[in-house]
Amino acid sequence: MKRLILLPVLFLVSNYIQGQTKINSATFGAMEARQLGPGTMSGRITAIEGVISDNKTIYTGTAGGGIWKSTNAGASWKPIFDKYCQSIGAIAVDQTKPDIVFAGTGESNMRNSVSIGNGLYKSTDGGENWSKLGLDSTEHIAKIVINPKNSDIVYVAAPGPLWSDSKHRGLYKTTDGGKTWNKILYINEKSGCADIALDPQNPETLYATTWEFRRLPYSFNSGGKGSGFYKSTDGGRSWKELKNGLPQKPFGRVAIALAPSNPKKLLAIVEAKETGLYISEDAGETWKNQSSTMNVTARPFYFSTIVFDPKDANRVYRPAFSFSYSNDGGYSFSEASNEGGWVHSDHHALWINPNYTNQMFLGTDGGVYFSMDRGATWLFVQNLPVGQFYHVAIDNQQPYRMYGGLQDNGSWIAPSAAPGGVGNANWMNIYFGDGFWTQPDLNDPHIAYAEYQGGNMGRINLTTLKSVNIQPQQTPKEEKLRWNWNTPIVIGIANPKNLYTGAQYLYRTKDQGRSWERISPDLTTNDKKKLQQEESGGLSADNTSAENHCTLFTITESPFDEKTIWVGTDDGNLQLTTDAGKTWTNVAKNYAAAGVPPQTWVSSIEPSKFDKNTVYATFDNHMYGDMKTYIAKSTDLGKTWHLINSPEFTGFAHKIKEDNKNKNLLFLGTENGLFASVNGGTDWFRMKSNIPEYALVRDIQIHPTTNDLVLATHGRGIIVLDDITPIRELTQSIADSAVYIFPSKPMTLSMGKYGSGGFPGNGGWTASNPSYTYTQPIQYYFKERLNSGDVKLNIYDEQGKLIQQVPGTKRKGINMVYWNLRYTPPKVATGGSKPDYSGFIAPMVMPGKYTIKISIGNKEYTSDLTLIPDNSDSSFQLSDRKAQHDAAMQLYQLHEKLYQLTTKINNNQKRLKASDTLMKTVKGKKILQDYNAALESLRSTLLATKSKSIFADESKLREQISELYRTLCTQEARPTELQTARIAQLQSEYEKAQKEYEAIDAKYAEQAQIAIEAEKQIGKGSGSRSSH
């Protein structure tokens, strides 16, 4: 029978010998990335919606970090959109059936760095599962409104594509819950629908605004003939334009609000030549202009939120630069005091609980805030790790530090590991403004370089956080310097003493920015048509350096030679020098020949570490409406190029990274995902491994010693995939084997590099430490998930003694199983008032050679494992470890001896008790009872037998052994003299007890046996006696 059961395993194993196995993310699924966040600066929030019926379920949509759900009013959050587009424009909850949720992808705060959506999604189970409803090409969705009286009717306002003309914009309507959609308001290919409001009492009455807008890489326009303000009273079948009292057209973006408690009352912020706030008291028929504060009229393309209190039509909120409110229906506004603490500026979303309108959630460029007093004071939600990094850099400290700058959130540093894990408190803010490149000084760990928008850069003392501005200045020999929004600041690879930056010229410093040398002419196209940023913005001028153009965008020094430098620009040039800047060659024409469009941003350049003539580059053409993923490779220093392509790719390309050790391993970060290739770029797969599948991956680093893959995401903070060695080592032939056991590398024996501290964290977001700071996994590979049979790892010491058994996992691909490097716990005396937890703890083993026998179904594989001493702790040498191990093992054995002794006593007592009930003679009874009493008296000295309370227990021999045993098992130190002496004392107490047991045994055992035998004889001899 047993044989029959095992047959399927054999079949499984033999069945998969033919054909090539695809290596993909599932192959490495056991490797789970750590999302480091942090939550301390968070990121841009675009939508917040609550469930009215329960007062505590909140959905938060983010600019690049998907959707997060809280079911406890913000105390904890869970990402619920990790398999889909991460840029969220709008969320709507069907309040009549709150498990129905709509999510529109593609944020509509149309700044330069805004991401792009891919349609509308619906969930019918509160966000657990989603299906796509369509509107795929709208790219940006501003609002979703559900008819409160018939939730099958839904409206979606889609401004549509930002970077190109498109028919896929306007106001869409469904009457069947999203199965089919009609476009019910459409102007032209340049103008979409920016906002919509619906009269809740009379839901056929709708107000909608249209918006003409467009970005180019070097300018922005908000406003035009296509912008307008419309009303429908028949659910969108016909529309009339609202004009009466509104300003002269053209309009720009118009934001509207309707008072739920008085639906005839509306507010509109109308972007026009004179932007203003307009009020209507008659359902939009006539409007009155109100003089408005700066905060009400500021940046209408970016701040498009105005909200009525759900119950009080006089109370109005304007979240914008800051938070203003009105108590007179919008006639006048005041600024909230923020006396409870700082609130991040730039607000985009506000949710007010209609049941209790003092309670509100505010979404800003730096996370979510919560108020219980109508916005007078705010509490920051510290556990939403949705920061928008542009770049990440790493250093050589132990643990290494991560450096990065974020959209509207400055520049930060954090260690990759810390006691208790990496939490909010481990992150240090070192520079301000919009953060981009942040670079370590690899020669001086106290110094870092960071910048804010427009090329403003500083050298920062990391101890004091005092900074010195080091931005290169214009001389009479140069034109006005042009700095990209995201100006490169880069340290050299061949020579880390070099620090580079670039305007339209390349600059290099060798003395930490105290002096700069310009080492190039203008490397851009210097196209004057693209240099009119002062006129950018459209109706409202908006020149924040975000549209600066014809600038350097990426700089890379060759790993082979500091004189070879690659420079990419935002206007389509890729320039190479091999003589440290004396002469430059533009290779743009060469990759254009391979199919990269002209003017394309050079988003990253990756010279190979394995061949000095090989270089990879990524190109980003999305600002011309082309979202394709462009990667090119040259093996002749840029003379000829070929495109690397894959059907897997989604999103425009930000960064390509070649592995440090395996030249065939490549990683690609795009606006919509992380991709990997293990065969030099021929085949690619999307990396999942706890990384959101469409994460905005802006930058990638690989640490030279820990082999960690470090990602800068624009919406999910820093993500680290620890130790990518398994990806490096997985060859096609391994992938093709049914089972493969990876040879184990020597493992360092240690209880881990870090302690845990005290109480868990300071709140906020905490990422665990890399598992390699504790121990290394034992790894094996399965071509298919193991369905039949079990996996067990048996670990033997050098003498061949089985010391541990660890259950194995059975997943397809690489499996990683951890042995805690300890023995099996001892058997601990039982029968006390409480269990003794020493039965769960074992001493660590000693350095040496071990054998692992891995049983998989009915097969067994053998692998060797060497444990080496940890030399990093000078206070805990090998001899100390030996002393500790031996001391712990003495107590281990003492526990086991005591177990034997108490088990003997327990068994004897059980036997005596059973006999006692049968015993009829008084003399016999007395012998048994005396025997039992003597045993009980001994037993009560061996372990706690009386229960008191949780914190007041007896301490007997077992407890005394345990106290010291647990101490010695859980720390790394040579035992103190007193500890060693204590062991001897406990041993002698045990021996005393053992002797006492023998004495009791000698005194009673024989008598008791005789009495029991006699009783048996009596019972056999005469049945009648029992009737006396």
CB closer to other proteins, 590 vs 962? 962
**Is 804 an interacting residue with respect to other proteins (CB under 8 A)?**
yes
Show Cβ contacts of residue 301 under 8 Å, excluding neighbours closer than 6 positions: 109, 110, 213, 220, 222, 252, 253, 271, 538, 540, 542
Choices 405-413, 722-730, 770-778, 820-828; region in contact with other proteins by CB under 8 A: 820-828
Choices 216-224, 276-284, 756-764, 816-824; region in contact with other proteins by CB under 8 A: 816-824
For other proteins, which residue of 428, 493, 734, 806 counts as binding (CB under 8 A)? 806
Euclidean distance between CA atoms 520 and 496, whole angstroms: 20
Euclidean distance between CA atoms 965 and 988, whole angstroms: 16
For other proteins, which residue of 384, 828, 891, 927 counts as binding (CB under 8 A)? 828
**Is 831 an interacting residue with respect to other proteins (CB under 8 A)?**
yes
Give yes or no for a contact between 935 and 908, defined as CB atoms under 8 angstroms apart.
Answer: yes
For other proteins, which residue of 117, 813, 847, 924 counts as binding (CB under 8 A)? 813
The b/e string for 767-781 (b: 16+ C-beta within 10 A; e otherwise) is bebbbbbbbbbbbbb
**Is 247 an interacting residue with respect to other proteins (CB under 8 A)?**
no
**Is 898 an interacting residue with respect to other proteins (CB under 8 A)?**
no
**Is 911 an interacting residue with respect to other proteins (CB under 8 A)?**
no
CB closer to other proteins, 595 vs 848? 848
**Is 798 an interacting residue with respect to other proteins (CB under 8 A)?**
no
Q: Segment 464-523, which members bind other proteins (CB under 8 A)?
A: none
Q: How many angstroms separate the Cα of 252 from the Cα of each of 112, 267, 270, 679?
A: 17, 16, 7, 50
Number of C-alpha atoms within 13 angstroms, CB side, residue 905?
29
**Is 226 an interacting residue with respect to other proteins (CB under 8 A)?**
no
Q: CB 237 → other proteins: shortest distance, Å?
A: 7
**Is 732 an interacting residue with respect to other proteins (CB under 8 A)?**
no
User: What is the end-to-end Cα distance of the chain in Å, rounded?
Assistant: 57
Q: Segment 60-99, which members bind other proteins (CB under 8 A)?
A: 71-72
Euclidean distance between CA atoms 305 and 296, whole angstroms: 10
For other proteins, which residue of 285, 328, 611, 790 counts as binding (CB under 8 A)? 790
Choices 268-276, 514-522, 798-806, 864-872; region in contact with other proteins by CB under 8 A: 798-806
Helix (H) or strand (E) holding 720: strand 718-721
CB closer to other proteins, 342 vs 840? 840
- Phi then psi for 631, rounded to 5 degrees? -130, 140
For other proteins, which residue of 311, 609, 822, 859 counts as binding (CB under 8 A)? 822
**Is 966 an interacting residue with respect to other proteins (CB under 8 A)?**
no
For other proteins, which residue of 237, 910, 926, 1003 counts as binding (CB under 8 A)? 237
Residue 657's closest CA among 689, 614, 700? 700
For other proteins, which residue of 201, 337, 613, 824 counts as binding (CB under 8 A)? 824
Euclidean distance between CA atoms 525 and 840, whole angstroms: 70
For other proteins, which residue of 185, 193, 523, 891 counts as binding (CB under 8 A)? 185
- Phi then psi for 795, rounded to 5 degrees? -110, 130
Euclidean distance between CA atoms 131 and 121, whole angstroms: 6
Euclidean distance between CA atoms 921 and 910, whole angstroms: 19
Q: How many angstroms separate the Cα of 586 from the Cα of each of 495, 574, 596, 617, 700?
A: 23, 6, 14, 14, 26
Q: Which two tokens stand for residue 402?
A: 């991560």
What 3-state class would DSSP assign to 869? strand
CB closer to other proteins, 462 vs 829? 829
CB closer to other proteins, 303 vs 782? 782
Q: Segment 119-148, which members bind other proteins (CB under 8 A)?
A: 125, 128-129, 131-135
CB closer to other proteins, 551 vs 779? 779
**Is 816 an interacting residue with respect to other proteins (CB under 8 A)?**
no
**Is 241 an interacting residue with respect to other proteins (CB under 8 A)?**
yes
CB closer to other proteins, 71 vs 578? 71
With vertex at residue 927, the alpha carbon angle to CA 921 and CA 931, rounded to the nearest 5 degrees, is 145
With vertex at residue 978, the alpha carbon angle to CA 973 and CA 983, rounded to the nearest 5 degrees, is 90
For other proteins, which residue of 10, 16, 29, 461 counts as binding (CB under 8 A)? 29
Choices 89-97, 180-188, 612-620, 921-929; region in contact with other proteins by CB under 8 A: 180-188
Residue 690's closest CA among 35, 2, 3? 35
CB closer to other proteins, 125 vs 611? 125
Q: CB 812 → other proteins: shortest distance, Å?
A: 4
**Is 970 an interacting residue with respect to other proteins (CB under 8 A)?**
no
Euclidean distance between CA atoms 762 and 613, whole angstroms: 50
Q: CB 2 → other proteins: shortest distance, Å?
A: 10
Q: CB 115 → other proteins: shortest distance, Å?
A: 22
With vertex at residue 153, the alpha carbon angle to CA 148 and CA 157, rounded to the nearest 5 degrees, is 95
**Is 225 an interacting residue with respect to other proteins (CB under 8 A)?**
no
For other proteins, which residue of 183, 311, 563, 663 counts as binding (CB under 8 A)? 183
Choices 232-240, 387-395, 567-575, 596-604; region in contact with other proteins by CB under 8 A: 232-240
For other proteins, which residue of 179, 745, 920, 1025 counts as binding (CB under 8 A)? 179
**Is 900 an interacting residue with respect to other proteins (CB under 8 A)?**
no
Give yes or no for a contact between 946 and 936, defined as CB atoms under 8 angstroms apart.
Answer: no
For other proteins, which residue of 139, 659, 836, 1015 counts as binding (CB under 8 A)? 836
**Is 54 an interacting residue with respect to other proteins (CB under 8 A)?**
no
Largest CA distance in the chain: 129
Q: CB 1028 → other proteins: shortest distance, Å?
A: 34
The b/e string for 326-361 (b: 16+ C-beta within 10 A; e otherwise) is beebbeebeebeeeeeebbebbbbbbbbbeeeebbb
Euclidean distance between CA atoms 77 and 38, whole angstroms: 14
Choices 185-193, 339-347, 379-387, 704-712; region in contact with other proteins by CB under 8 A: 185-193
Size of the site for other proteins (CB under 8 A): 67
What 3-state class would DSSP assign to 361? strand
**Is 825 an interacting residue with respect to other proteins (CB under 8 A)?**
yes
**Is 859 an interacting residue with respect to other proteins (CB under 8 A)?**
no
**Is 599 an interacting residue with respect to other proteins (CB under 8 A)?**
no
Q: CB 785 → other proteins: shortest distance, Å?
A: 4
The interaxial angle of helices 922-942 and 957-969, nearest 10 deg, is 30
CB closer to other proteins, 717 vs 832? 832
Q: How many angstroms separate the Cα of 81 from the Cα of each of 78, 129, 389, 530, 692?
A: 9, 9, 19, 38, 8
Q: CB 184 → other proteins: shortest distance, Å?
A: 7
Per DSSP, helices labelled H in 670-724 are none
| Contacts with other proteins, 688-717, as mask; x by CB under 8 A | x-----------------------------
For other proteins, which residue of 784, 797, 896, 963 counts as binding (CB under 8 A)? 784
Q: Which two tokens stand for residue 862?
A: 């053998």
Q: Using only C-alpha atoms, what is the Rg of the chain?
A: 36
Give yes or no for a contact between 431 and 467, defined as CB atoms under 8 angstroms apart.
Answer: yes
Q: CB 136 → other proteins: shortest distance, Å?
A: 8
- Contacting positions for other proteins (CB under 8 A): 1, 5, 25-27, 29-30, 71-72, 125, 128-129, 131-135, 178-187, 237-241, 688, 784-790, 792, 803-807, 810-813, 820, 822-825, 827-828, 830-831, 834-836, 839-840, 842, 947, 950
